[in-house]
Homo-oligomer: A and B are copies of this chain.
Amino acid sequence: MSEVPQLRIGEVAKRSGLAASAIRYYESEGLIRKPARRSGQRVYDESVLDQLALIDLAKGAGFTMAEIKKLLSGFARRTPPGERWRQLTTAKLAELDARIAEAERMKTVLRKVMRCHCPTLDDCSRALRKAQPG
């Protein structure tokens, strides 16, 4: 007779570090299973913390809500997790590489403007258009 701990949303919030509103939001978006209710209130068992941890991991990997939703329920029922991850991850890796390349490009621009010696911003603007004609 081991008693399964029953958690209300406030407790789940505390343990997961999320706001209660976020947990309700995830439920409304179908990212976590709908818990039982006791007199109207949500009653969770501890497995919800695992589900939330998975969502947190996916968020930490840069996935959007829509992508996490797809990960969780956008595949044929018995598609194994590895397969699910790999499909989403391939595109995301490319996206991250693009993001990094973009940031590097920005850094190049920044290093260039830091060396600016124009007397006024208008000169700056004009210099720009002369430097990059077309």
List residues of chain A with CB under 8 Å of any chain B CB: 47, 49-51, 53-54, 57, 60-62, 71-72, 80-82, 84-86, 89, 92-93, 96-97, 99-100, 103-107, 109-111, 113-126, 128-129, 132
Contacts and interface: CB of A to CB of B under 8 A. Distances in A.
A85 B114 contact: yes
B82 A116 contact: yes
Contacts of A71: 121
B126 A81 contact: no
Contacts of A54: 121, 124-125, 128
Given A82-B118, A99-B99, A118-B80, A129 B50 contact: yes
Contacts of A86: 114
A79 B103 CA distance: 28
A97 B111 CA distance: 13
9 contacts: A47-B125, A50-B122, A50-B128, A54-B121, A61-B109, A61-B110, A62-B106, A81-B119, A99-B99
A128 to B, nearest CB: 5
Nearest to A126: B50
B113 A89 contact: yes
Given A57-B113, A106-B62, A113-B89, A81 B118 contact: yes
